Structure 1
Amino acid sequence: MNLPKFLLADNSEFPEDIFILHTEYPRFLINLKDDEVEWFEDVEGENEQELANELEKLIEQAGNFYDSEMKKYE
Protein backbone atom coordinates (compact mmCIF):
# COMPACT_ATOMS: atom_id res chain seq x y z
CA MET A 1 0.00 0.00 0.00
CA ASN A 2 1.26 3.46 -0.85
CA LEU A 3 0.71 5.96 1.92
CA PRO A 4 0.63 9.72 1.52
CA LYS A 5 3.65 11.50 2.98
CA PHE A 6 1.46 13.52 5.39
CA LEU A 7 -1.91 12.85 7.02
CA LEU A 8 -4.21 15.18 8.95
CA ALA A 9 -5.26 13.79 12.31
CA ASP A 10 -7.52 14.88 15.13
CA ASN A 11 -8.84 13.45 18.34
CA SER A 12 -11.99 14.34 20.24
CA GLU A 13 -10.04 14.28 23.52
CA PHE A 14 -7.99 17.23 22.20
CA PRO A 15 -10.61 19.34 20.38
CA GLU A 16 -8.36 22.40 20.01
CA ASP A 17 -5.35 20.48 18.64
CA ILE A 18 -4.48 19.78 15.01
CA PHE A 19 -2.06 16.96 14.28
CA ILE A 20 -0.05 16.15 11.17
CA LEU A 21 1.41 12.67 10.82
CA HIS A 22 4.54 12.20 8.69
CA THR A 23 4.46 8.61 7.41
CA GLU A 24 7.98 8.31 5.95
CA TYR A 25 11.30 8.03 7.75
CA PRO A 26 11.70 9.67 10.16
CA ARG A 27 8.08 9.22 11.20
CA PHE A 28 6.66 11.84 13.53
CA LEU A 29 3.49 13.47 14.76
CA ILE A 30 3.40 17.24 15.14
CA ASN A 31 0.77 19.16 17.06
CA LEU A 32 0.35 22.41 15.13
CA LYS A 33 -1.23 24.06 18.15
CA ASP A 34 2.07 24.20 20.04
CA ASP A 35 4.57 22.70 17.52
CA GLU A 36 5.28 19.78 19.86
CA VAL A 37 6.79 16.86 17.94
CA GLU A 38 6.62 13.19 18.89
CA TRP A 39 9.22 11.10 17.05
CA PHE A 40 8.38 7.44 16.41
CA GLU A 41 11.98 6.51 15.63
CA ASP A 42 15.40 7.41 16.89
CA VAL A 43 16.87 9.91 14.47
CA GLU A 44 20.61 9.82 14.17
CA GLY A 45 23.05 11.10 11.63
CA GLU A 46 26.70 11.75 11.13
CA ASN A 47 26.31 15.47 10.63
CA GLU A 48 24.10 16.98 13.33
CA GLN A 49 23.65 20.31 11.51
CA GLU A 50 22.62 18.57 8.29
CA LEU A 51 20.18 16.40 10.24
CA ALA A 52 18.73 19.41 12.06
CA ASN A 53 18.25 21.22 8.74
CA GLU A 54 16.48 18.21 7.23
CA LEU A 55 14.16 17.83 10.22
CA GLU A 56 13.37 21.54 10.13
CA LYS A 57 12.42 21.20 6.44
CA LEU A 58 10.13 18.26 7.19
CA ILE A 59 8.36 20.18 9.95
CA GLU A 60 7.95 23.17 7.61
CA GLN A 61 6.54 20.83 4.94
CA ALA A 62 4.02 19.52 7.48
CA GLY A 63 2.80 23.07 8.11
CA ASN A 64 2.63 23.76 4.37
CA PHE A 65 0.65 20.55 3.89
CA TYR A 66 -1.87 21.70 6.48
CA ASP A 67 -2.21 25.13 4.86
CA SER A 68 -2.72 23.52 1.45
CA GLU A 69 -5.37 21.14 2.76
CA MET A 70 -7.27 23.96 4.48
CA LYS A 71 -7.34 25.99 1.25
CA LYS A 72 -9.10 23.06 -0.41
CA TYR A 73 -11.93 23.34 2.14
CA GLU A 74 -12.51 27.05 1.48
Structure 2
Amino acid sequence: MDTRTKRMLAGAAAYAAADKSDPFAYARAIAHIKSGVAGVLPNGSDAFYSAEEYPEQRTLEDGTTFNVPAYRNICRP
Protein backbone atom coordinates (compact mmCIF):
# COMPACT_ATOMS: atom_id res chain seq x y z
CA MET A 1 0.00 0.00 0.00
CA ASP A 2 1.48 3.36 -0.99
CA THR A 3 1.84 6.40 1.27
CA ARG A 4 -0.99 8.34 -0.38
CA THR A 5 -3.45 5.48 0.17
CA LYS A 6 -2.37 5.12 3.80
CA ARG A 7 -2.93 8.87 4.29
CA MET A 8 -6.41 8.66 2.76
CA LEU A 9 -7.39 5.70 4.96
CA ALA A 10 -5.97 7.35 8.09
CA GLY A 11 -7.89 10.51 7.26
CA ALA A 12 -11.11 8.54 6.83
CA ALA A 13 -10.59 6.79 10.17
CA ALA A 14 -9.91 10.08 11.96
CA TYR A 15 -12.97 11.68 10.36
CA ALA A 16 -15.16 8.76 11.46
CA ALA A 17 -13.79 8.92 15.00
CA ALA A 18 -14.59 12.64 15.11
CA ASP A 19 -18.22 12.03 14.07
CA LYS A 20 -19.32 9.29 16.47
CA SER A 21 -22.97 10.28 16.04
CA ASP A 22 -22.88 8.94 12.46
CA PRO A 23 -22.41 5.14 12.48
CA PHE A 24 -21.82 5.13 8.71
CA ALA A 25 -19.15 7.87 8.55
CA TYR A 26 -16.24 5.48 7.97
CA ALA A 27 -18.10 3.31 5.45
CA ARG A 28 -19.18 6.42 3.52
CA ALA A 29 -15.63 7.81 3.52
CA ILE A 30 -14.23 4.51 2.23
CA ALA A 31 -16.94 4.32 -0.45
CA HIS A 32 -16.08 7.87 -1.55
CA ILE A 33 -12.37 7.05 -1.70
CA LYS A 34 -12.96 3.83 -3.68
CA SER A 35 -15.33 5.53 -6.14
CA GLY A 36 -13.03 8.51 -6.67
CA VAL A 37 -15.32 11.12 -5.07
CA ALA A 38 -12.64 11.77 -2.44
CA GLY A 39 -8.92 11.44 -2.75
CA VAL A 40 -5.63 13.13 -2.08
CA LEU A 41 -5.47 16.86 -2.76
CA PRO A 42 -3.70 17.75 -6.02
CA ASN A 43 -0.53 18.84 -4.21
CA GLY A 44 -0.51 15.53 -2.31
CA SER A 45 -0.55 17.24 1.06
CA ASP A 46 -3.52 15.55 2.70
CA ALA A 47 -6.70 13.54 2.19
CA PHE A 48 -10.06 15.23 1.81
CA TYR A 49 -11.29 13.26 4.81
CA SER A 50 -9.34 14.16 7.91
CA ALA A 51 -9.57 15.24 11.53
CA GLU A 52 -6.94 16.15 14.09
CA GLU A 53 -7.16 14.38 17.45
CA TYR A 54 -6.12 16.18 20.62
CA PRO A 55 -6.55 15.39 24.34
CA GLU A 56 -9.25 17.35 26.14
CA GLN A 57 -9.54 17.43 29.92
CA ARG A 58 -13.04 17.27 31.39
CA THR A 59 -14.19 17.61 34.97
CA LEU A 60 -17.07 15.79 36.64
CA GLU A 61 -19.34 17.46 39.17
CA ASP A 62 -17.42 15.80 42.01
CA GLY A 63 -14.17 17.39 40.82
CA THR A 64 -12.71 14.29 39.17
CA THR A 65 -10.82 15.15 35.99
CA PHE A 66 -10.14 12.84 33.07
CA ASN A 67 -8.82 13.09 29.52
CA VAL A 68 -10.87 12.24 26.45
CA PRO A 69 -9.96 12.36 22.77
CA ALA A 70 -11.50 15.33 20.98
CA TYR A 71 -11.20 16.38 17.34
CA ARG A 72 -10.66 19.63 15.44
CA ASN A 73 -9.98 20.63 11.84
CA ILE A 74 -12.58 18.15 10.61
CA CYS A 75 -12.60 18.01 6.79
CA ARG A 76 -14.75 16.16 4.31
CA PRO A 77 -15.54 16.63 0.61
State the TM-score, normalized to the length of structure 2.
0.27
**More relative contact order in 1 or in 2 (CA 8 Å, sep 6+)?**
2
- Which has more radius of gyration? 2
